[in-house]
Amino acid sequence: SAVISQKPSRDICQRGTSLTIQCQVDSQVTMMFWYRQQPGQSLTLIATANQGSEATYESGFVIDKFPISRPNLTFSTLTVSNMSPEDSSIYLCSVAEHNEKLFFGSGTQLSVL
Amino acid sequence: KQEVTQIPAALSVPEGENLVLNCSFTDSAIYNLQWFRQDPGKGLTSLLLIQSSQREQTSGRLNASLDKSSGRSTLYIAASQPGDSATYLCAANYGQNFVFGPGTRLSVLP
């Protein structure tokens, strides 16, 4: 089973600032996923991060707002840029082991004031 | 459109009861279905994964069944405990396209 370390676990940020979330996996994986979970709702996929290529963003999410890096097969970052209170959510990174079983990091609970 | 729903949205039971959580998916062409547990403000913990060719999977007090043709999966929790209180989500895998249900929020009262 893949073990994923995600940090920070939570943060409180001011409007207009940016936060970078880090995700480290204990094994090499091809695809990493970044999700957002707004209060009381289910998960929404932000983007899929592939090593060596640009991330693939879902409808409604853009690179300028959520830039993603994937420098190698075990690490990725998601930045939430120019934050507003509407960005207050839990952000989750995930990997698919053997492209079929999902594992998640512990999540980053973000509050924007 | 591929959608996943879960019933009930919330459930409160006394300790010791057996209970069933339901997950329905509109497109039956799934590769597998996975059940997760989520504690407040935390990430998701995988509980069970059922391949499309399987009917059920068991882990301890948990049993998940899958009826692919009818687009349904159930998670059975035996002898519930207060520590089972959490949100339970199911996710249908359509070939690296994972579609999540909204979750069932479970409270087990001591």
pLDDT higher than threshold 80 for residue A99: no
Quote the pLDDT of residue B93. 94
Cβ pair A104:B103 closer than 8 A: no
Determine the pLDDT at residue A60: 95
- Chain B nearest-CA distance from A16, in A, is 23
Q: Which of A32, A56, A104 to mutate to test the interface with B (most CBs of B within 10 A)?
A: A104
Beta bridge partners of B22: B7, B74
Average confidence (pLDDT) over A32-57: 91
* Average predicted confidence (pLDDT) for chain B: 95
| C-alpha–C-alpha distance, residues B54 and A79, integer Å | 39
Q: How close A102 gets to chain B, by Cα (Å)?
A: 7
**A113 and B48 Cβ atoms separated by less than 8 Å:** no
Q: Cβ–Cβ contacts within 10 Å for residue A62, how many?
A: 11
- Reported confidence tier of residue A50, pLDDT bands at 50, 70, 90: confident
- Which of A20-24, A88-92, B37-41, B78-82 is least confident? B37-41
Q: Is A76 on the interface with B (CB under 8 A)?
A: no
Q: In whole angstroms, what is the distance from residue B103 CA to residue A19 CA? A: 28
CA dist B45 → A3, A105, B103 (Å): 11, 9, 13
A23: nearest Cα among A42, A5, A44: A5
- The amino acid present at A53, given as its one-letter code, is S
From the list A103, A105, A106, the residue facing B46 with the nearest CB is A103
